[in-house]
Amino acid sequence: MSTNSENQWDLVIEPNASKLNLNLQEVWRYRDLMLLFVKRDFVAQFKQTVLGPVWHIIQPILTTAMFLLIFGRIARTSTDNIEPSILFYMSGIVLWNFFSGCLTNVSNTFVTNANIFGKVYFPRLVLPLSVIISNLIKFAIQFLLLIAMMVFFHFRGYPIQPSFNWIFIPVIILILACISLGLGIIISSLTTKYRDFIVLLTFAVQLGMYATPIAYPYSYVQNKSFYWIFKINPLTSIVESFRYCLFGKGTFDLASLSYTIIFMVVILLSGIVVFNKVERNFMDTV
């Protein structure tokens, strides 16, 4: 006959009562698992490659060279007086690589990790957060490359002008990470039933780069008929603010940045609600 002590459990797993509850305390208890997922992403991405993590450096260099040829030499688009132009293009590419990497990988959370979810319990938010951390490390590598290029050109006649605005760069990256996390978990929740969103996301990311001032500045499109696309794009102020903080040149609009912050809050809260709703029964549909 069982005793009362035998009926007491150390851990009781229940669905979240609140749709806005992130249960961050439990996520923190699983921080070691989160770090293991971050390590797994690095190992899996460069497994059986010769250069390994060096591709984090090669990729932005090759993309910058392509942008320099197409937009700098052939199209001759403006760079908002940011010289040399290679720094203008690389700054945009580094930022876009971070956003697209976070969005794409977070969007595949449920589908690509269904086998893990079905075998063991852990807070499901651990995986999207591990993706953000993994991409933050990749961003740090590419950002250091950008800083190295700035130092190189400093001694080639393009002096660096350190500014107080540099301290706002982490805030800009945090805003971008929250937007990609919110959008990513919404799309991830939708892909449990509709796999078409995975295909659509690929096209959206490719087109999104050209609807964001990555290869050209915001001022270049202000007199164009499609100007409104850039105006409603919440990433526009992020990219422009990032360059303004780095180089002290470009377009900085506090109203546009405020709009982006409001968008971030709305999309992140919406993502949390959708994520908590789908988390309860996604294994039946994935």
Q: What is the dihedral of CA 227, 228, 229, 231, to 10 degrees?
A: 100
User: What is the structure's pLDDT at 1?
Assistant: 44
Residue 42 makes CB contacts below 8 A (sequence gap 6+) with 53, 134, 137
User: What is the structure's pLDDT at 48?
Assistant: 61
Q: Please tell me what DSSP assigns to residue 71.
A: I
Q: Per-residue confidence of the chain (286 residues) as pLDDT tens digits?
A: 444 445 566 655 555 555 566 677 777 888 888 888 888 877 777 666 666 677 788 888 999 999 999 988 888 888 888 888 899 999 999 999 999 999 998 888 877 777 777 677 777 788 889 999 999 999 999 999 999 999 999 888 888 887 888 999 999 999 999 999 999 988 888 877 777 777 788 888 888 898 999 988 888 888 788 888 888 999 999 999 999 999 888 888 889 999 999 999 999 999 888 877 776 665 545 5
The C-alpha atoms of residue 110 and residue 189 are separated, in whole angstroms, by 7
User: What is the structure's pLDDT at 79?
Assistant: 85
Q: Where are the alpha helices (DSSP H) in 48-168?
A: 55-67, 85-107, 109-112, 114-117, 126-154
Asked whether the beta carbons of 185 and 274 are under 8 A apart, the reply is: yes
